[in-house]
């Protein structure tokens, strides 16, 4: 081989090696990602309802631009726990991703008091949600469409005062395959076989008129299937934030919607054909049987306590494809319940499993979930709910929910 041939061959080898290292950012930063995680290291996956929302369009962006104490504490919690993948619920969506960029660059990547080292997520996924989007229909049966304040929110596809309020943001240290992501924001509630259609108990008639029911969307925000390329293989992040099963009337329309929003994931991971389960791009069917997944989000349903149709979350927890594992727990939740007087003995579940504190009337509940599929093992897990008096307790008080995390291994 001539020296010129050897030079050409060397260039080709180097080009191929570099090509194998190229990563594409999804709504992320163009800078080089951190070093890849060793395959033997656990993968930390988390969910966190951060309550970073505003009642005005663009309000969260303005707060983050000015410097926001709540966002700094949320960032400090994430810097402390350092999940590899985390879903943030109640993070207002904007089409340009400006709020997500600000939170990453000015909060996560800056040292925060009480937090750990700066934290960078090269990959971020965000997409439109139903909250605050006007439906043009009388969804709450008030006799009028739209209006001001809560009346306007009640007639949005999902309750909200402006489009994007209470949105979702997925952060990842590993590449996100946005081209294969599926969203179910537009799926009609009536498309689900056996949908729990609300009924007026006084008359026995359906609460929503037929022309409204046929158009009503199931997801109050959205349901996402986002594939992430991790050292443990492709992980399908199944993200959602069902409506709270409250703020309605005797027809229980929010409780029934919460039930069916949770049921959507049970249907999605079940093996039989689902010709009705069509995503926003028109592709129908559920998740392949050999796919590994993790269900993330504030599902607004406790297995035993609070409002809601509890069988919805129990049936998801007991699904054959969902891994049986020790429930994430914290000592802080137990001590918080004791400080509240144990909620007068009305709480039936283990306080150690609670993920949020919702005042004396509601009490503490388990609403936030990280549910991996079979095929993984859980190396560790927890709820970030520090003991009273712990310096980190002030950080955790930035939201009424607490971060839930699980360390996964093969």
Residue-wise pLDDT for 373-389, tens only, equals: 999 999 999 999 999 99
Q: How much is the mean pLDDT over the chain?
A: 91
Residue with tokens 């996402």: 224
Task: Domain ranges for the chain, please list them.
Answer: 43-409
Instruction: Taking residues 62-78, report their average pLDDT.
Output: 98
Q: State the sign of the Cα–Cα–Cα–Cα dihedral 156, 160, 163, 164.
A: negative
- Inter-residue contact 154 to 133 (CB < 8 Å): no
In order, the DSSP letters of 234-264 are EEEEEEE-PPPS-SS-TT-HHHHHHHHHHHH
Instruction: Taking residues 155-181, report their average pLDDT.
Output: 98
Quote the percentage of the chain above a pLDDT of 90: 84
- Inter-residue contact 260 to 218 (CB < 8 Å): yes
Strands 356-357 and 377-383: unpaired
Confidence label for 255 from pLDDT (cuts 50, 70 and 90): very high
Instruction: Taking residues 163-175, report their average pLDDT.
Output: 98
Strand intervals (E) in 3-84 = 43-52
What pLDDT is recorded for position 360? 81
Residue 146 per-residue DSSP state: -
What pLDDT is recorded for position 37? 57
Confidence label for 29 from pLDDT (cuts 50, 70 and 90): low
What pLDDT is recorded for position 189? 98
Q: How far is CA 261 from CA 21, 105, 249, 276, in A?
A: 39, 33, 19, 15
What pLDDT is recorded for position 13? 35
What pLDDT is recorded for position 31? 53
- Would you say residue 236 has pLDDT above 70? yes
- Inter-residue contact 363 to 346 (CB < 8 Å): yes
Strands 292-298 and 233-240: parallel
Which class is 43-409 in CATH? alpha beta
What pLDDT is recorded for position 340? 79
- Would you say residue 2 has pLDDT above 90? no
- Would you say residue 12 has pLDDT above 90? no
* Per-residue pLDDT tens digits for 124-152: 999 999 999 999 999 999 999 988 888 99
What pLDDT is recorded for position 295? 99
- Alpha-carbon distance of 309 to 314, in angstroms, equals 9
- Would you say residue 321 has pLDDT above 50? yes
- Would you say residue 342 has pLDDT above 70? no
* Structure tokens belonging to residue 338: 């004791």
- Alpha-carbon distance of 124 to 27, in angstroms, equals 5
Largest Cα–Cα separation, the chain? 92
Residues in the chain: 410
- Alpha-carbon distance of 13 to 280, in angstroms, equals 42
What three-state secondary structure class fits 322?
A: strand
What three-state secondary structure class fits 394?
A: helix
Output the CA angle 42-45-50, nearest 5 degrees. Answer: 150
What pLDDT is recorded for position 369? 98
H helices of 20-149, in order, are 59-66, 69-81, 98-102
- Alpha-carbon distance of 86 to 46, in angstroms, equals 5
Strand intervals (E) in 204-331 = 223-230, 233-240, 292-298
Instruction: Taking residues 325-349, report their average pLDDT.
Output: 86
- Would you say residue 4 has pLDDT above 50? no
Output the CA angle 265-212-95, nearest 5 degrees. Answer: 60
Confidence label for 20 from pLDDT (cuts 50, 70 and 90): very low
């Amino acid at each position: 081989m001539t020296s010129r041939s050897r030079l050409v061959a060397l260039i080709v080898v180097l080009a191929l090696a570099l090509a194998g290292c190229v990563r594409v950012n999804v709504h992320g930063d163009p800078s080089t990602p951190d070093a890849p995680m060793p395959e033997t290291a656990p993968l930390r996956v988390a969910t966190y309802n951060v309550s970073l929302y505003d009642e005005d369009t663009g309000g969260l962006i303005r707060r983050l631009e000015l410097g926001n104490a709540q966002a700094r504490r949320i960032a400090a919690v994430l810097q402390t726990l350092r999940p590899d993948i985390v879903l943030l619920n109640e993070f207002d969506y904007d089409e340009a991703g400006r709020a997500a960029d600000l939170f990453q660059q000015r909060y996560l990547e800056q040292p925060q008091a009480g937090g750990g080292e700066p934290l960078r997520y090269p990959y971020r996924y965000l997409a439109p949600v139903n909250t605050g989007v006007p439906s043009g229909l009388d969804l709450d049966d008030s006799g009028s469409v739209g209006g001001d304040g809560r009346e306007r929110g009640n007639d949005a596809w999902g309750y909200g005062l402006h489009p994007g309020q209470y949105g979702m943001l997925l952060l990842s240290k590993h590449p996100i395959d946005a081209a294969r992501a599926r969203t179910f924001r537009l799926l009609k509630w009536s498309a689900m076989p056996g949908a729990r259609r609300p009924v007026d108990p006084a008359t026995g008639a359906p609460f929503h008129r037929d022309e409204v029911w046929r158009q009503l969307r199931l997801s109050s925000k959205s349901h996402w299937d986002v594939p992430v390329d991790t050292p443990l293989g492709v992980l399908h992040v199944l993200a959602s934030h069902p409506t709270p099963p409250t703020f309605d009337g005797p027809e229980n329309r929010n409780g029934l919607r919460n039930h069916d929003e949770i049921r959507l994931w049970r249907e999605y991971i079940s093996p039989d054909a689902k010709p009705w389960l069509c995503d926003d791009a028109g592709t129908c069917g559920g998740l392949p049987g050999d796919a590994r997944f993790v269900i993330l989000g504030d599902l607004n349903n406790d297995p035993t306590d609070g409002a809601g149709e509890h069988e919805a979350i129990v049936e998801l927890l007991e699904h054959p494809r969902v891994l049986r594992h020790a429930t994430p727990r914290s000592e802080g939740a137990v001590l918080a319940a004791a400080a509240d007087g144990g909620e007068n003995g009305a709480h039936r579940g283990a306080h150690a499993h609670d993920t949020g504190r919702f005042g004396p009337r509601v009490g503490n509940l388990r609403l936030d979930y990280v549910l991996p599929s079979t095929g993984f093992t859980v190396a560790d897990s927890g709820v970030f709910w520090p003991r009273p008096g712990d310096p980190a307790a002030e950080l955790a008080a930035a939201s009424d929910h607490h971060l839930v995390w699980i360390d996964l291994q093969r």
